[in-house]
Amino acid sequence: MKQVVLIIGLCLATTTAFAQKASVTGAERISRNSRGNFNEARSLINGALEHADTKDDPKTWFIAGQVEDAQFNAENTKQILGQQPNEPVMYEALQNGIPFYMQAYELDQRPDARGRVRPKYDKNIKGIFGANHIYFLHGGIYYYEQEEYQKAYDLWDKYVEIANLPFMSDTKAAAKDENYFTAQFYAGIAATFLENKELAIKAFTRAKDAPFRQNDAYQFLIWEYEQLRDTANLEKLYEECMNVFPDSSYYMFSLISIYLLTDRDAKALEMLNMAMSKDATNAQLYYAIGSVYESSQSLGDIEKAESNYAKALEIDPDDAINHSNLGRIYFNQAANKLNEANQITDVNEYNVEKAVARGLFEKARPYYEKAHQLNPDEKENIMALRGIYYNLEMDDEFEAIEAKMNINYDE
């Protein structure tokens, strides 16, 4: 009886294994028919992908890929003939085939019992990947226009991955051309729309070294790190950008801003002086150095701030900010002197100090008037002039600027 049971068990196992191989054959037959029932083919092959007797056979996985490729080709043929394909079905099948082919390729490279590697499907897989490669780019564009950004990202990302596969290195698909760089960059754009910072950072980190919209790639990457308030990576990026774009002052000033925000004023000043040695006619550099000396707790020096602001104004007299910077130096000194005077009880001493304050307000006046002339809507200049005219007892000017201030605020 036991022998009979054993024989029956062996027959059942053999029958099951045969059935799975038959399923693979059936799926293969359907995949050769452009009008085949691809869902039926998938149903047949799915069991074989899991069965012990067929799951390690590269043919099983290759046929699973062929089923997807057959559906892709059926829809793509319509497109070639000028008919309307079902694009979601087409691009889904295109993408679904990749993991099957990748597993088939891996199994196909395994040595046999004698240690020999005799692949059967590698050329076919390379050919399919090469022929279909461009459609991953097209599919990404299709989904991007539909605002389905995750699917757009997946297809563009897969375009890049295929180009970088080692076994594709000797094919046209491996070319690092405009299509490749476009897929890299726009994968990052899609991730940005998804508000997936991890994905966007990954994509733009990959894209930033390419000669395609390189500055934009860095800008997007910087934006993502800014949203995360990741100053450590921002600092590294700005340092990198200064090497990649040596003529851009934006990255230098951004890095300096980080130094200032993190109380590294000396480091900021060192960088500014280094830049000054290369371009001594850059008004922005003098402005930045003046700002450090004006605001720094450790390096504060009003006289140096004044001299640098004066140099910036000399170089660029048409910039309202350069005028208001100098005006602010004198205005703040005047305000401080006036506060000191108000603490004095002796009338003579009070009058002396008040006269000094008045002289500083007078010194600030032409700078703020010019700044206001160049930028009439800047509220800081209007408020400063109001204070100046009030302290200089310039009644007509005071009334005019106060009226303008009220109008400006009402707006």
Domains in the chain, CATH or no CATH each: 232-315 (1.25.40.10), 317-411 (1.25.40)
Share of the chain above pLDDT 90, in %: 68
Given pLDDT bands bounded at 50, 70 and 90, which one contains residue 202? very high
Contact (CB, 8 A) for 326 and 310: yes
Q: Report the C-alpha gap between 376 and 373 in whole angstroms.
A: 6
Q: In whole angstroms, what separates CA 243 from the centre of its chain?
A: 18
DSSP 265: H
Q: Is the pLDDT of residue 392 over 90?
A: yes
pLDDT at 39: 87
- Asked whether residue 297 carries a pLDDT value surpassing 70, the answer given is yes
What's 190-250 look like in SS3? HHHHCCCHHHHHHHHHHHCCCCCCHHHHHHHHHHHHHHHCCHHHHHHHHHHHHHHCCCCHH
Question: Which DSSP symbol is given to 51?
Answer: S
Output the pLDDT for position 5. 46
Q: Tell me the HSE value of 390 on the side-chain side, using a 13 A CA sphere.
A: 12
On whether the CB atoms of residues 401 and 390 are closer than 8 A, the answer is no
Mean pLDDT of 369-396: 93
pLDDT at 18: 56
Contact 215, 245 (CB under 8 A): yes
- The stretch 75-96 carries a mean pLDDT of 94
Q: How far from each other are the two terminal CA atoms of the chain, in whole angstroms?
A: 101
What 44-51 contacts at long range (C-beta under 8 Å, 24+ apart), as own/partner pairs, is: 47/20, 47/23, 48/20, 48/21, 48/23, 48/24, 51/16, 51/17, 51/20
User: DSSP readout, 134-188?
Assistant: HHHHHHHHHHHHTT-HHHHHHHHHHHHHHHT-GGGTTSGGG--SHHHHHHHHHHH
Predicted pLDDT at 15: 52
The mean per-residue pLDDT over the stretch 395-405 comes to: 88
pLDDT of residue 329: 95
The model's pTM: 0.75
Of the candidates 8, 60, 71, 6, the residue with the CA atom closest to the CA atom of residue 36: 71
Among the listed residues 73, 98, 95, the one whose alpha carbon sits nearest the alpha carbon of residue 86: 73
Is the pLDDT at 14 greater than 50? The verdict is no
Give the mean pLDDT of 267-289: 89
Burial 366-399 (b: 16+ CB within 10 A, else e): ebbbbbbebbeebeebbebbbbbbebbebeebbe
Percent of the chain's residues with pLDDT above 70? 94
